[in-house]
């Protein structure tokens, strides 16, 4: 791609970007949230037309007309925001628009069979007939990957493919990538996880604010220089963990059980504490938080807030107790994509802006501006629709909206998924300030450096049970991994 320019409604977001991907390599495309990575890739995938610039595939100049045309040219893209239709089965989703046919009818049997072969080849254990909406985010992502592979594309774009999968699955994805590479394909890989980049990238291109910064061979650049080029400044402390005084217990659970999901889990979170929960996907962490928050039923167990027994049947009750839950799935649960950024932030705390029955627009506006500033959310205007923001910026809005309610206990489920290095450290800073005021945070995280960097204690879950609890002194990656797989 040469000198690619792209505007949305007269705002230019790509200012002449270059990208050269060699066959048989993994090319990492890096940059902060909103830098233009996804937009550039959507130009390549035919989702967006370009305003000016040129695209060459196998040395030939191409004018990409549509997503279908891009596919025909040998490009497959796994999008950052999962877009599969929940009611469709895995097979229907993979072969959408190119279903095998018997006469005029779709040959469902053949389609199932082809899907099964594809999944078997990738060693993915998902049934072709199951509905997409019933799969976990991680499995949905694997289906997207299977779909991309099924196009036999020469250029495969993976826009944050590991944002929702844990270490084991990442290893597995890397094997798939190694195979694709050996077949001479070019893989464009977008991720905010720095350690991944240095493991798999051959070449690295950095974008900043829609500008092309530079391209290096991965062996010629180190982590610090890469980050410096991405954020345009030096980042002195990545995990700004501040030790704050820890007081008595705020929230305690005993013997929490939901049959088939988690069993007999007890823990207590203290005021001022960041309580980390580590584990593999499927360990039952999210299900447990959902039950605590009133989104699902508990079969057994007790909950106490400041020593007083409480029961929670609905999120509304949880919120009334001062408990907030930021979900891992921003598109499904966290965000109203068709609404302006401003309303998304203020929606759950509308009461704050009401005076004598009227909404104080001025107060709402200044609060929104403060939050946008504090979290460095990249928007053109607060009136912009949330759905038009870059992925990481959407996640920051979900956080902003809950932090504004000042809950006593903030439950964060994979809080920095898809968030860039600069913004991550901003969020870590906010978390520290938040607990310094005597509040508590429960943080589910599958990113080992994050949970070890930020938590005061870590509870590890394995296949529905609590397999251990560690204090900061005892934190070690190996110990946590061992506990995470101890019940499998
Ligand atoms: N459909 C759209 N309409 C208007 N603006 C858009 C649209 N899509 C993207 N933008 C804007 O273009 C800029 C680049 O966004 P893009 O999604 O490419 O960022 P990104 O580098 O992929 O970020 P992230 O790491 O958060 O995914 C952002 O300012 C974003 O708000
Ligand atoms: Mg993106």
Q: What is the pLDDT of residues 166-205, one digit of tens each?
A: 677 788 889 889 988 998 999 999 998 888 899 999 999 9
Instruction: Please give the Cα distance from 398 to 347 (Å, whole number).
Output: 11
Same-domain pairing of 187 and 278:
no
Q: What is the DSSP letter of 472?
A: G
Q: Which residue has the higher pLDDT, 484 or 141?
A: 484
Q: What is the mean pLDDT of residues 215-224?
A: 93
Q: What is the pLDDT of residue 305?
A: 97
Q: What are the DSSP E strand ranges found in 132-290?
A: 155-159, 186-190, 203-208, 211-217, 249-258, 262-270, 274-279
Same-domain pairing of 130 and 194:
yes
Q: Rounded to the nearest whole angstrom, what is the distance from the C-alpha of residue 392 to the centroid of ligand 1?
A: 9
The answer to whether the CB of 163 is under 6 A from ligand 1 is: no
Residues 95, 116 contacting (CB under 8 angstroms): no
Rounded to whole angstroms, what are the CA distances from 285 to 139, 270, 327, 478, 480?
A: 16, 19, 12, 20, 15
Q: Which ligand is nearest to the CA of 31?
A: 1
Mutate to test the pocket of ligand 1, among 10, 11, 33, 34 (most ligand atoms within 8 A of CB): 34
**Percentage above 90 pLDDT, the chain:** 52
Q: List, in order, residues 6 or more apart from 356 with CB less than 8 Å away.
A: none
The answer to whether the CB of 376 is under 6 A from ligand 1 is: no
Q: What are the DSSP E strand ranges found in 186-225?
A: 186-190, 203-208, 211-217
The answer to whether the CB of 395 is under 6 A from ligand 1 is: no
Q: What is the mean pLDDT of residues 324-337?
A: 75
Same-domain pairing of 152 and 100:
yes
In a domain, residue 239? The reply is no
Q: What is the pLDDT of residue 133?
A: 85
Per-residue confidence band for 331, with pLDDT thresholds at 50, 70 and 90: low
Q: What is the pLDDT of residue 152?
A: 83
**pLDDT at residue 375 is higher than 60:** yes
CATH of residue 429: 3.40.50.300
In a domain, residue 139? The reply is yes
Instruction: Please give the Cα distance from 212 to 202 (Å, whole number).
Output: 18
Range of the domain at 211: 2-231
Residues 447, 167 contacting (CB under 8 angstroms): no
Q: Rounded to the nearest whole angstrom, what is the distance from the C-alpha of residue 369 to the centroid of ligand 2?
A: 23
The answer to whether the CB of 390 is under 6 A from ligand 1 is: yes
Same-domain pairing of 205 and 321:
no
For the chain, the average pLDDT equals: 88
Instruction: Give me the number of domains the chain comprises.
Output: 2
Q: What is the pLDDT of residue 418?
A: 75
Q: Rounded to the nearest whole angstrom, what is the distance from the C-alpha of residue 31 to the centroid of ligand 2?
A: 9
**pLDDT at residue 446 is higher than 90:** no
HSE, side-chain direction, 13 A CA sphere, residue 163: 28
Q: Rounded to the nearest whole angstrom, what is the distance from the C-alpha of residue 177 to the centroid of ligand 2?
A: 20
The answer to whether the CB of 34 is under 6 A from ligand 1 is: yes
Instruction: Please give the Cα distance from 59 to 473 (Å, whole number).
Output: 56
Q: Rounded to the nearest whole angstrom, what is the distance from the C-alpha of residue 47 to the centroid of ligand 2?
A: 14
Q: Rounded to the nearest whole angstrom, what is the distance from the C-alpha of residue 433 to the centroid of ligand 2?
A: 28
The residues placing their C-beta within 5 Å of ligand 2, an ion, are: 38, 80, 390-391
Lowest mean pLDDT among 264-278, 318-332, 405-419: 318-332
Q: Which 3 state secondary structure label does DSSP give 101?
A: strand
**Closest by Cα among 404, 420, 421, 402 to 412:** 402
**pLDDT at residue 236 is higher than 70:** no
Same-domain pairing of 381 and 284:
yes
In a domain, residue 237? The reply is no
Same-domain pairing of 200 and 271:
no
Q: Out of 121-130, 191-200, 299-308, give the one with best mean pLDDT.
A: 299-308
Lowest mean pLDDT among 110-119, 286-295, 303-312, 361-370: 361-370
Q: Which atom of ligand 1 lies nearest, measured to the CA of 37?
A: 21
Same-domain pairing of 320 and 185:
no
Listing from the earlier edge strand, what are the strands of the sheet with 2-8? 11-17, 2-8, 52-57, 60-62
The answer to whether the CB of 393 is under 6 A from ligand 1 is: yes
Q: Rounded to the nearest whole angstrom, what is the distance from the C-alpha of residue 315 to the centroid of ligand 2?
A: 30
The answer to whether the CB of 289 is under 6 A from ligand 1 is: no
Q: Which residue has the higher pLDDT, 335 or 132?
A: 132
């Amino acid at each position: 791609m040469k000198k690619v320019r792209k505007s949305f409604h007269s705002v230019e977001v790509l200012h002449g970007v270059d990208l050269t991907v060699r066959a048989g390599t993994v090319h990492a495309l890096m940059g902060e949230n909103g830098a233009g990575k996804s937009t550039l890739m959507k130009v390549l995938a035919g989702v967006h037309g370009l305003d000016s610039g040129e695209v060459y595939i196998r040395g030939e100049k191409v004018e990409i007309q549509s997503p279908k045309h891009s596919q025909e040219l040998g490009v497959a893209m796994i999008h950052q925001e999962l877009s599969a239709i929940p009611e469709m089965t895995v097979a229907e989703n993979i072969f959408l628009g190119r279903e095998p046919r018997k006469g005029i009818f779709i040959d469902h049997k053949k389609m199932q069979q082809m899907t099964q072969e594809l999944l078997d080849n990738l060693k993915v254990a998902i049934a072709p007939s199951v509905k997409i909406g019933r799969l976990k985010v991680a499995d949905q992502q694997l289906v997207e990957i299977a779909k991309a592979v099924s196009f036999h594309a020469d250029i495969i774009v993976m826009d944050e493919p590991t944002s929702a999968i844990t270490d084991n699955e990442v290893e597995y994805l890397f094997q798939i990538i190694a195979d694709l590479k050996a077949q001479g394909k070019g893989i464009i890989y977008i991720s905010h996880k720095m350690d991944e980049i240095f493991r798999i990238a051959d070449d690295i291109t950095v974008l900043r604010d829609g500008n092309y910064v530079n391209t290096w061979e991965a062996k010629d650049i180190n982590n610090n220089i890469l980050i410096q080029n991405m954020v345009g400044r030096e980042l002195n402390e990545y995990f700004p963990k501040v030790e704050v005084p820890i007081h008595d217990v705020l929230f305690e659970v005993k013997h929490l059980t939901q049959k088939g999901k988690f069993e007999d889990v007890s823990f207590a979170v203290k005021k001022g504490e960041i309580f980390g929960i580590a584990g593999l996907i499927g360990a039952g962490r999210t299900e447990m938080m959902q039950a605590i928050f009133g989104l699902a039923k508990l079969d057994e167990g007790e909950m106490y807030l400041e020593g007083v027994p409480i029961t929670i049947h609905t999120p509304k009750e949880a919120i009334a107790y001062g408990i907030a839950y930021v979900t891992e799935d921003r598109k499904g649960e966290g965000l109203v994509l068709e609404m302006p950024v401003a309303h998304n932030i203020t929606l759950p705390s509308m009461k704050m802006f009401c005076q004598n029955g009227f909404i104080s627009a001025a107060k709402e506006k200044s609060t929104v501006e403060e939050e946008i500033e504090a979290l460095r959310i990249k928007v053109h205007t607060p009136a912009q629709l949330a759905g038009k923001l870059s992925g990481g910026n959407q996640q920051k809005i979900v956080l902003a909206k809950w932090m504004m309610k000042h809950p006593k206990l903030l439950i964060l489920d994979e809080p920095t998924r898809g968030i860039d290095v600069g913004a991550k450290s901003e969020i870590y800073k906010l978390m520290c300030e938040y607990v310094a005021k005597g509040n508590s945070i429960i943080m589910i995280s599958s990113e080992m450096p994050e949970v070890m960097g930020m938590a005061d204690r870590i509870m590890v879950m394995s296949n529905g049970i609590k397999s251990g609890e560690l204090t900061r002194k005892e934190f070690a990656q190996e110990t946590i991994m061992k506990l995470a797989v101890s019940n499998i």
